[in-house]
Amino acid sequence: MKRKLILCLVVAMLFGFSVMPVHAKTTWIANSVWPPNNHQTIALEQFAAKIKAVTDGELEIIVNSGGALGYKGPELLKAVRDNLVPVSDMLISGVAGDEAIFQVVTVPFLSRNFEELKLLIDIAKPHFDQAAAKWNQKILYISPWPGAGLWTTKKVTSVGEMRGLKTRTYDKNGALVVEATGGTPYALPFSEVYSSLATGLIDSVITSTPTAVDAKFWEVLKFYQPLNITIATNMVNVNLRAFNRLDAKTQQAVLDAAKALEEELWANIAVLDKEKESISNQNGIETVPVSDALMDALTEVTIGIRNDYLASAPAEAKAIVADYLKQVGR
């Protein structure tokens, strides 16, 4: 048997046949907590398709959307760290309970538009990369959301009218804003928002226009106040050991595809915001214009949230905010 094996190897070498083992295709399972038609899930699907194409199918990413894998937002750093799921999108501020620096992106009323948000992310990115590496993962790309407004059953035009609201929030800072205005925050996963509105557990939601459309808020809510309380961001992370098992060429293909997608997402976010708001309006949601007086009042009652965060924030977060405020001139 041994002589036959040697003979086969010799013949293969003489006739130029490869004697190297054939590498099996690599498959990554990817998690998205958002519905299939959400822009974050669509982007992840586009990323998966691009990776399959540029690697000739050697790396395939299979996207599971709508929270089908059972993982909830706050636990996703742990899930990717432990390779329970190799790839996942996650709300950056949603995992701040495990890594405090990630809370910096949703300090209330810090970023007032997408240009300022992009500057903040660019300043924070090296620090975010270091934090992700501590959790045995690599950030592939960061994707913005439209600003978080207030969706309600009653019209809100003043801080006083926010008192008593039972509001679903998605991170610590949003909860603090609700408390500062006299409401009660509810930290609910996205999958439970609609049923909680329908049963009266909550009567309002802080979120962006795409998630309002995903949840068909017009069936259970009436008004949208575009307060830009925070402007959230998602990151898509891969388990670091899984990434390092790829050969150098494939790693570069993944990084190049991620960079191109990230640039596209940031370029299109303002248009997406208006499109989703228009869909909500067409289905019966009334957009309530936000007055300067309301914004001034909200800034005043929430300034302590920023100060409290910075007082206990990691040194890196303090440096990020200081550099950012210097560059935007505030």
Say which residue the tokens 């899984």 belong to.
242
Say which residue the tokens 């998602």 belong to.
234
Q: 113-127, 138-152, 263-277, 297-311: lowest mean pLDDT where?
A: 297-311
Where are the chain's structural domains?
Answer: 23-325
Give buried/exposed letters for 252-269 (b at 16+ CB in 10 A, else e): ebbeebbeebbeebbeeb
Taking the C-alpha atoms of residue 238 and residue 140, their distance in angstroms, rounded to an integer, is 7
Q: What is the pLDDT of residues 76-99, one digit of tens each?
A: 999 999 999 999 999 998 899 899
Mean pLDDT within 103-113: 87
Q: What is the pLDDT of residues 43-74, one digit of tens each?
A: 999 999 999 999 999 999 999 999 999 998 88
Is pTM beyond 0.85? Reply is no
Q: 15-29, 51-65, 249-263: lowest mean pLDDT where?
A: 15-29
Cα distances from 32 to residues 21, 71, 242, 256, 275, in angstroms, run: 34, 9, 18, 21, 22
Question: Strand, helix or coil at 238?
Answer: strand
State the chain's mean pLDDT as an integer: 90
Mean pLDDT within 226-236: 92
Residue with the bigger pLDDT between 111 and 20: it is 111
Domain 23-325 CATH superfamily: Bacterial extracellular solute-binding protein, family 7 (3.40.190.170)
Cα distances from 161 to residues 50, 152, 154, 292, in angstroms, run: 48, 11, 9, 16
Say which residue the tokens 């992370």 belong to.
237
